[in-house]
Chains A and B, each alone.
Chain A
Amino acid sequence: MTILEAKNVSIRYITGDFKDIGLKEFVMRKLTGNYHVTEFWADKDVSFTLERGEMLGIIGSNGAGKSTLLKAVSGIMVPTEGWIRREGTIAALLELGSGFDGDLTVKENAYLRGAMLGYTRKFMDEKYDEIIAFAELKDFEERPFKQLSSGMQSRLAFSIACLVKPDILILDEVLSVGDGAFRKKSEEKMREVISGGATTILVSHSLEQVREMCTKVLWLHKGKQIDFGSDVQGICDRYQLFLDRKLEL
């Protein structure tokens, strides 16, 4: 059963003059015909399908359009061309730290972030102690969030996020959080979530991780789809060659 399907997805960003000019400049430039908008295709003609329980790894160098594609899959952005069809609930852990507020306490932030991830209040009431225990922040509950070290912040973020039980799970570089000990714990936890039967999309710069865990691979380069398929090892080998500059695209 196809649970996620993307067909010829292209996403265009508009950049140029408009961002920094005010209303007066905008009107002036419109009148004088001096108003320029440049287009930038972050993704061009990307297609893939995922069946239930599959795990897709997205690889590619910086600026390949991975994060933009994930934003489109999670519904934050709409593809400029093409379409994406999805079945069931979706949880996108794009940037774990997003949505936290420095002035609120750890507890308040936990609830706020939980609400953003679509949890219910009842669920949070039940799981709150578990979250704090997992994040090892028992003594910091009433501290303002901004007083935590960045490692603690990401630990809290991860502990809240890993409670999700979606049909589709999107992970953008979240498998490596915190210090050594916590990293091990978080990886285990994430594997537990993944093995719960969710269809998963994983963005990772660690090729080992992709080789080991994924059943399909999508290789993007500067917005273009280089390869997609279930030949994980083959595609990863070619990507490795490309990284070693032995392969020209």
Chain B
Amino acid sequence: MTLAAGQGFLSPTGVEIAFLLVGVATLGAAVVTVTTRQLVHAALWLVVALGGLAVEYLLLTAEFIAWVQVLIYVGSVVVLLLFGLMLTKAPIGRSPDADSGNRWAALAVALAAAATLVWVVVDAFRSTWVDLDKATAGAEAGAGSTRVTGEFLFRHWVLPFEALSVLLLAALVGAIVLSRRDREDPKAGGGTGPTSGRSGRRPGVRGTGAGTGPRTPRLGTAGTGVTAPRTSAPEAPAPRASAGRTPAGARGDAAGQAPPPAAPQPPAPPRPTPR
């Protein structure tokens, strides 16, 4: 790292222009993610936003971080989100209940978080010039290569890394404890399943009237009329038309309802791991 004297502040090289453009696109995708009324579209715009972040990492030569970003966030977290959406509502078209009442609070939190992060980065680096192509300290590869990242992570930052993994382990155990179903009180596990990351999903109010009418192919309801009962294979969940929900989520809100036979996606608890 050297001072930026002579390098100019934001000298408009091709990489920097690309960085800014991708940043604008990422920001736009993120804004659409939180403003769109179509839940599945929100998840897909999130893919664009997270992918844009990965491209930004690439432009900063942090290749390893970029691929891990794609692997974890696009490949696992968004898949988990889509899985949760399809398992609960499977909405197509606008969801009138997708709006949150505390949008202004959310906006304030977002702005505060953004201000904090920008301030931290600006204050930490000020006018230092980081040459991304050259080696940082004797390594032959670029500053963002896997080797350099690994050395930093496991030489200088081992303790925080391990602490984080313990935290994740605690979260994992907590998710398993919360989603266990062998307790007497069926309300206790409500909303704590692995798919509960979405707002506005309240067990019990998702009757047939809460959706978007006939465009909502909710699992198990009689939307397609005659076709549903025909799939009476033993493992197809369609015949459970009265339940109106699939059994995998760990939220038995109907007290006294028998545990569903042969759950199609049984091992729900371990899914939060990718976070």
Asked if A pairs with B, the answer is: no
